[in-house]
Amino acid sequence: MPLAGRPALVKVLSVYVIAVLTAICYPRTTYAQSVLEILKEAAGSKLSEALRIYGTDDRAVVTDTTQFPYSAIGQIQALFGPAAGYEIRLGTGVLISNKVVLTCAHVVYETGPGWADNIVFIPGKKGDAEPYGRIKVVGMSGQNGYLQDRNDEYDIALLLLETAVGQQTGYMSAVFKPTSFFTDRSFNLTGYPYDITDSDLMYNAVGQSQRIEGNLIVHYIDGGTGQSGGPLWYETVPTKQYIVVGIYTGDIDETINGQLTGQFGVAIHINETFCNWIDQFIDENDPGSNAGCSSDGGEVAPPACGSGAPGGMMVALLTLGAIRGRRYL
């Protein structure tokens, strides 16, 4: 769907990996161990296509995934049943209460079959290490704009976990920020990019948001396959609160008269409507966590990487037309 006030922005990549499984070839008992090997084989050379890097790849591995706030971020594994051809999707999610995970809908939902038959959240996953175990998802909620109309501006979902793992990991705060907050601002993007060799490791990158287009945050932050649902977040200074303002969903090409004029990453903006929905879902399903979504007009913070403060050098480089991005095809 065209984004408001701009030439048509064509979403060219959905940042998730799909592998087709059959119960005969991949018995359920081997699912957990073989999922990544299956995905690698199924994806083949197409892995590099679902990748958007701006200049140098700034993604760096998170060495200690048990340290907050990274402990609140995890990998999502969603298994669809026979109605969807036994598909597996990998993505990223973030705890925003003791039992509620925020992610994007396309990782766990497909038009027709509906929600995935089996979804697990693995907070702090680092290779084979799963310090907090695998937590089963027992409830899901999404926006009708995506579930019924497949409008990518509503590609957001909430997952209710079976146990309150956030009591061990901690959770980040979902916050609604106004449109003006996102002009040339520095954020972190964290997740499990599948295009990198060590695909079961958590990576973090820092980059710039540019503006809001409809429900989308347009940004220049390095991302790739498997990071869908990863939080766009920052740390407040000096209070050290960890604020989630959006959820990474994919990339877009901007074209005018068929000519490519821009390439950007996009994230779902936690706007006022989404914030109220999040708040209600947590209140109904995890009231004991005392979490929710708040509205914040913005705070003053000194410029710093990932601080949520206005950026400087990166904006200058992009404006001057240095390496703006590259796409592997």
- Mean per-residue pLDDT, 68-74: 98
Judge whether 50 lies within some domain: no
Secondary structure element (H or E) that encloses residue 35, with its range: helix 31-43
**Cβ proximity of 71 and 94 under 8 Å:** no
Residue tagged 């710039």 (tokens): 208
Q: Residue 237's pLDDT is what?
A: 84
Q: What is the CATH number of the domain that holds 99?
A: 2.40.10.10
The model's pLDDT over 242-300, given as tens digits with 9 standing for 90+, comes to 999 999 998 887 788 888 777 788 999 999 999 999 999 999 999 999 999 998 744 43
Compute CA 215 distance to the chain's CA centroid, rounded to the nearest angstrom. 15
**Cβ proximity of 87 and 50 under 8 Å:** no
pLDDT band at 213 (very low <50, low <70, confident <90, very high): very high
Q: Residue 224's pLDDT is what?
A: 79
Judge whether 3 lies within some domain: no
pLDDT at 193 over 70: yes
Judge whether 21 lies within some domain: yes
The model's pLDDT over 129-153, given as tens digits with 9 standing for 90+, comes to 999 999 999 999 999 999 999 999 9
**Which residues contact residue 167 at a Cβ distance below 8 angstroms, ignoring those fewer than 6 apart?**
98
Total domains, the chain: 1
Q: Residue 58's pLDDT is what?
A: 74
Q: Classify 161 in phi/psi space as left (phi over 0), alpha (psi -120 to 50) or beta.
A: beta
pLDDT at 74 over 70: yes
Judge whether 52 lies within some domain: no
**Which residues contact residue 101 at a Cβ distance below 8 angstroms, ignoring those fewer than 6 apart?**
74, 76, 93, 94, 95, 121, 137, 158, 159, 161
CA 173 to CA 289: how far, in whole Å?
A: 12
CA 17 to CA 67: how far, in whole Å?
A: 27
CA 264 to CA 324: how far, in whole Å?
A: 9
- The parent domain of residue 35 ranges over 9-44+59-319
Judge whether 329 lies within some domain: no
Local structure of 287: helix, strand or coil: helix
